[in-house]
Amino acid sequence: MSEITEKYRKLPLYFVAITVLVKLVFLLTHHIQEDAFITWRVAQNLLDYGVIGFNGATKISASTTHLYVFVSYFFNLIFGKEHFIYPLLIFNSILFTFGSYFLSKLILKNPIHQAIFIFLFGILPPSIKISILGMEYGILFFLEMAFLYFGLKEKKIWAQILFPILILFTRIDTVIFLGIVGLIDIVWNRKINWFFVLGGVLGIISVLSFNWFYFGELVNNTIVAKSATYAKNMSLSLQWKYFLLNYGNYWGMLKLPGDFNPFTILVLVFELVCFIYLVSKSKVRNYFIWIIFLFGWCKQLVFISQRSYFDWYYWVPQILLFSVVLVFVLEQKTQKILWISLLLIFYILPMMSFQTIHSIATGNGEWNYRRSIGLFLKNYEKDKNQYILLEPAGYIPYFSGLKAIDEVGLVDKEIQKEIKKDKPNYWRNTAEHRKPKYLLAPTDLFNGKDSVFYKNNYKFLKEFRIKDHLQSDNKILEKIYRLKPSGTDYNLYEKK
């Protein structure tokens, strides 16, 4: 161990703490992802009914992640329903940052470089979102990086078996990650790691068995519902339009206004150049560079090919692909300070500034606005066995306490039958057959082809408008709210 390595060996751990503290400031924005409340509702349903579900005693895999449901369950149990959210978000932030600590150990030798990497990596927009938005990706990133560190670098047999099981139990689509790691491991070492294979097989068996014996299905309901609901037969021109609208998610970490974003292309090219430069150098760590870079590309290409436009699918690939840029900059032999300064001034700080504005605006649109709809219904409707038909099924069902039928069918399987039977009219048919007490729609139901049905069976109760939530005593906050208004206008209807 060199003198520098020994002297500064604890520095990365100090920067783990510093990075977590910096990111916790973003908790003040109340920017929490809608889908997190679905998982938390499932966890509370398990607490109240002893059933993994969403609406009472009905079993349904409404959450994409099983492991995070159980983690959320324990946080609810320990801290209570009213106080578990922020302890859980802090826990997610700590786990993610330790994941970046393991990653730094895999691809950098100098502890000073590792410390700087942890901080710069941790304040990238996807890293902030993984940490504070309440999704399962903080836990997932920790598990994946811990697997690479303990299982492949330290060659711990227990890690090669245990971590694949936990990873797959967190998200079933992590077969992409484990598959890429397995292929590169075989090519690199020219032999099969049978303990790793055992871990992967046990992981697949455990998650599929759990799905089958508990829910009576092999694949999570969330995957089935999205496949049935979202359009698949789009024209090539429409596919290209959606690609242009979303491709900022894939490599650039920043979606700018407009269809064409040259900034993303610049980042993509620079990532490729940095990757080629790093792997051209003969070093053992190239093994892990290849793993994270090929996984990042493969994960993105798979989800792009399936026309998956939700930005959280791309958070982990985004930061892993960009990690090679950080390594490239940190390992420059000359003018390193200049390189880091340029990176900070022209990329990191603008990106963090954008994320700050985005989180403040989105937090207002979700926590202040959409949550207020749920709180209104909580006070208005005392019978929590009543149903509401709406989309999405996060904030409003969570804070209202009402049972929910969501348009996609994530939390209610019955609507999937209506979608398959008559997709153009499934919303109206669901209202007619299921007779939910409340309808929450982004359109005026009393003006349209089914207006007669809605007028005969429902009465208009209240309108909710995002424009009414763009004011603040703080003039800076108000400017941000109006610069980037976040939210959907709704009309609420009650059954006659």
The whole-number mean pLDDT for each consecutive block of 10 residues of the chain, a chain of 496 residues, reads: 72 96 94 95 96 94 93 97 96 98 95 95 94 96 98 96 96 94 94 95 95 92 79 70 72 63 82 92 82 94 82 91 94 86 88 91 94 96 95 93 93 90 91 95 92 95 94 91 90 96
**Rounded distance, CA 174 to CA 167, Å?**
7
Question: What pTM was computed for the model?
Answer: 0.94
Helix axes 125-132, 111-122, angle to 10 degrees: 70
The owner of tokens 């983690």 is: 71
Burial 294-307 (b: 16+ CB within 10 A, else e): bbbbbbbeebbeee
Query: What amino acid is encoded at 93 in this protein?
Result: S
The DSSP symbol for 53 reads B
Pairing of strands 387-390, 403-406: parallel
**Rounded distance, CA 113 to CA 15, Å?**
11
Using alpha carbons, select from 268, 265, 264, 254 the residue that is nearest to residue 129.
254
Instruction: Give the pLDDT of residue 259.
Output: 58
Q: Where are the extended beta strands (E) located within 209-313?
A: none
Instruction: Give the pLDDT of residue 282.
Output: 65
In this structure, is the dihedral angle defined by the CA atoms of residues 343, 347, 348 and 350, taken in order, positive or negative? positive
Instruction: Give the pLDDT of residue 448.
Output: 85
Instruction: Name the CA radius of gyration of the chain, rounded.
Output: 24
Using alpha carbons, select from 237, 239, 273, 270 the residue that is nearest to residue 253.
270
User: Hey, is 59 helix, strand or coil?
Assistant: strand
Q: What separation in angstroms does the CA of 154 have from each of 8, 60, 145, 160, 294?
A: 21, 39, 12, 10, 22
Instruction: Give the pLDDT of residue 236.
Output: 77
Token pair for residue 371?
A: 């949550």
**Rounded distance, CA 175 to CA 213, Å?**
21
Planar angle of CA 296, 147, 37, nearest 5 degrees:
70
